[in-house]
Amino acid sequence: MVKRKQNTAYRYAVGCLLLIGLIGKTCALDNPDAPDLIGEFKKRELIHLAAIDNPKNKTRDFLVAYDDYLIFLNKELIMASETIKSKLPEQRKLELMTAQLHWIEYRDAEFELIKNTWTRKDFGSSSGISRGDYRTSIVKNRVLQLLHYANNF
């Protein structure tokens, strides 16, 4: 009798999990015709990540690779912002522009903190690599956030 109740409870639990999984999948259907903005971005950034991860890099090579990556990310940031802006109604466009201005203030404050904290004096020759990594991660995260927004339209 106890085994039968356990078996029934087990089947009930498995059935509920399957049902939840099925409902979740049907609610999260993507438009197959919509571009994969994040996937496309990740493909474009590969060349920069490879340059940073090159095992033959010297300190100067890392600095150049991070600078090039930051330039790339800033261009991607503009493109992502334009993409989401093109999909928004007028009132939301103004809100996006305001949010971007606030984000730029945040970015600038973070960049200043990074510059003043990871100094050659305190962190040696790796300081430039750390600064590059921290700066690019801030901009990359914003690009991805905007692309996630754009994917919802």
Domain ranges of the chain: 1-30, 32-151
> pLDDT by residue (tens digit) across 63-87?
999 999 999 999 999 999 999 999 9
| Average pLDDT of the residues of the chain | 88
Query: Rounded distance, CA 83 to CA 104, Å?
Result: 18
Residue 102, pLDDT above cutoff 50: yes
pLDDT of residue 25: 45
| Residue 34 DSSP label | S
Q: Whole-model pTM above 0.85?
A: no
Query: Rounded distance, CA 95 to CA 106, Å?
Result: 16
pLDDT of residue 34: 79
pLDDT of residue 33: 75
Exposed/middle/buried for residue 80 (C-beta within 10 Å: 0-12, 13-18, 19+) = buried
* Contact (CB, 8 A) for 76 and 41: yes
Query: Rounded distance, CA 18 to CA 89, Å?
Result: 39
Query: Rounded distance, CA 67 to CA 135, Å?
Result: 10
| Across 121-126, average pLDDT | 94
